[in-house]
């Protein structure tokens, strides 16, 4: 297994499969707008996920359920305008693919045509198999999402670790193999035991991207606003905060307010 880092000009779904085969870990972060996506892409992140976590992070909803297909398209098209290198994966939002395969395909086509995204992500296993197949048959790359699936939060009732029981773990492995068999190019595994995630990653040749799934998978994803420390009420064990932007931004904005009140801003050089 080579650890040498290859330079990729543009990341495609094939690049990701090659990266797994070469033992190169895949970096993935969310972004929902042009400015952030430009920074994330410029910093060399391989995959940008326009996640339906935009529902929480951007719109302040408690769950991912309220975000609409139109809103996802708006976020994704803003991200696409910023990108030079990363692969952009767009979440199909709740309600846009669960009812039947035809509707699922219509939703995926809208994402691809109207946002310019490169692939879609869908939560679930065998229960949405026909919808995934329909989308794949239209030439649209699909990433699966297993384990904790936030669009089903009301079914599970909590955001705790999934697949701790043997039956659920076996079902998850079966779903992962099925997603690979029908042609998905990768799978996000959210909040499951690290040992199980490792077993899944070893059982399939498509990349497994973990969030709260340990280190023995093929790549990692985090929500950008969480890893930058912009959100500060969310403390899952898996989250590493690389900055404390909530405090830094509060300090800067407080200083601005104080400067305006004291007529210290603008000064002589900051006017015409």
Is residue 223 a contact residue for ligand KIV (CB under 6 A)? yes
Alpha carbon distance 24, 15 (integer Å): 10
Q: Is 53 in the site for ligand KIV (CB under 6 A)?
A: yes
Least gap, CB of 155 to ligand KIV (angstroms): 17
Please report, for residues 141, 175, 209, the alpha-carbon distance to residue 166 in angstroms, rounded to integers and kept in the order given: 31, 14, 22
> In this complex, which beta carbon is closest to ligand KIV, that of residue 43 or of residue 257?
43
Which lies closer to ligand KIV via its Cβ, residue 49 or residue 86? Answer: 49
Q: Is residue 79 involved in binding ligand KIV (CB under 6 A)?
A: no
**CB 261, min distance to ligand KIV, A:** 38
What are the C-alpha distances in Å from 169 to residues 8, 80, 159, 180, 218? 35, 36, 17, 17, 19
Report the residue number, 41 or 91, with the smaller CB distance to ligand KIV. Answer: 91
- Residue 21, token pair as written in the block: 């085969």
Report the C-alpha gap between 210 and 139 in whole angstroms: 25
SS3 for 123?
strand
* Total residue count of the chain as it appears in this document: 272
Distance CA 57, CA 70 (A): 17
**How many separate helices (H) and strands (E) can be counted in the chain?**
11, 8
Of the pair 11, 187, the CB lying nearest ligand KIV is at: 187
With CB under 6 A as the contact rule, which of the stretches 34-42, 49-57, 252-260, 263-271 interacts with ligand KIV?
A: 49-57
Based on the shown chain and the rule CB under 6 A, indicate whether residue 91 belongs to the binding site for ligand KIV: yes
Does the annotation count 166 as an active-site position? no
Residue of 62, 168, 190, 202 with catalytic role:
190
* Choice between 51 and 207, CB closer to ligand KIV: 51
Q: For residue 183, what is the DSSP state?
A: T
The yes or no reply on residue 117 touching ligand KIV (CB under 6 A) is: no
201 is an interface residue for ligand KIV by CB under 6 A: no
H helix or E strand, kind and range, residue 47: strand 47-50
Give contact residues for ligand KIV (rule: CB under 6 A): 30, 49, 51-53, 91, 188, 190, 211, 221, 223
Active site residues: 190
């Amino acid at each position: 297994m080579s650890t040498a880092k290859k330079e990729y000009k543009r990341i495609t779904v094939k690049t990701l499969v090659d990266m797994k085969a070469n033992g190169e870990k895949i970096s993935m972060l969310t972004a929902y707008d042009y400015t952030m996506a430009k920074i994330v892409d410029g910093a060399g992140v391989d995959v940008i996920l326009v996640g339906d976590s935009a529902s929480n992070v951007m719109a302040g909803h408690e769950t991912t359920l309220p975000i609409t297909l139109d809103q996802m398209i708006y976020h994704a098209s803003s991200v696409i305008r910023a990108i030079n290198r990363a692969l952009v994966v767009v979440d199909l939002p709740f309600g846009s693919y669960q009812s039947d395969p035809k509707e699922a395909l219509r939703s995926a086509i809208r994402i691809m045509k109207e946002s310019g995204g490169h692939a879609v992500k869908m939560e679930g296993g065998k229960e949405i198999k026909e919808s995934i197949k329909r989308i794949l048959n239209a030439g649209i790359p699909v990433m699966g999402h297993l384990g904790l699936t936030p669009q089903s939060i009301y079914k599970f009732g909590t955001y705790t670790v999934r697949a701790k029981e043997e039956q659920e773990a076996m079902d998850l492995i079966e779903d992962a193999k099925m997603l690979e068999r029908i042609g998905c190019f990768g799978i996000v595994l959210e909040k499951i035991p690290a040992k199980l995630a490792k077993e899944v990653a070893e059982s399939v040749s498509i990349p497994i991207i973990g969030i709260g799934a340990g280190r023995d998978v093929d790549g990692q994803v985090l929500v950008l606003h969480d890893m930058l420390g912009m959100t500060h009420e969310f403390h899952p064990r898996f989250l590493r905060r690389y900055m404390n932007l909530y405090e830094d931004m509060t300090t800067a904005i407080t200083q601005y307010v104080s400067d305006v009140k004291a007529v210290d801003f603008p000064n002589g050089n900051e006017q015409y």
